[in-house]
Amino acid sequence: MRILHTADWHIGKTLRGMERGDEHLNFLSQLCNIISKEQPEVLIISGDIYDSVAPTIASQKLYNRMLLQLHATLPTMKIVVIAGNHDSSSRLELNSELWDAFDVAIVGNIERRGDEVNFEKHIIEINGHGGEPCCYVIALP
């Protein structure tokens, strides 16, 4: 069982007014190389995907591009995205049903049914390379 964990991408952060998109693409390239080499069953991205709760369109496009490239690098790998304090939970979850098609689970907020937490949303099954369940990720933003 191989798990690859990353966090704090802060897509959209500028440094002294300079965009950092090229740095994020360089990071993506390095991450894809690690994924190709290590072949993890799951990639966990835990929080602060964006630098702002209201990311620019360019930042959102970069995020989409990054997730698509990660999926293309290893289509059998589950990707779990969990919101952090810099992220808008509802914005992050907006397209979660579409991302399901790419085996990307996105958890932006703790979902409740009345007074009870909807654990089905937060307990994410991870399959091994043979397709059988091998572990679970408990995704709590």
Tens of pLDDT, residues 37-78: 999 999 999 989 998 889 999 989 999 999 999 999 999 999
Q: Are 53 and 87 in contact (CB under 8 A)?
A: yes
State the chain's mean pLDDT as an integer. 91
What is the sign of the dihedral through the CA atoms of 118, 119, 124 and 127? negative
pTM score of the predicted model: 0.91
Instruction: Choose between 129 and 72: higher pLDDT.
Output: 72
Q: Which of 7-11, 12-16, 109-113, 131-135 is predicted most confidently?
A: 7-11
Question: What are the pLDDT digits (tens) for 2-29?
Answer: 999 999 999 988 888 788 878 888 999 9
Closest CA to 83 of 3, 25, 139, 11: 139
pLDDT at 8 (0 to 100): 94
Question: What are the pLDDT digits (tens) for 91-101?
Answer: 888 888 999 99
DSSP, res 132: S
Residue type, 107: V
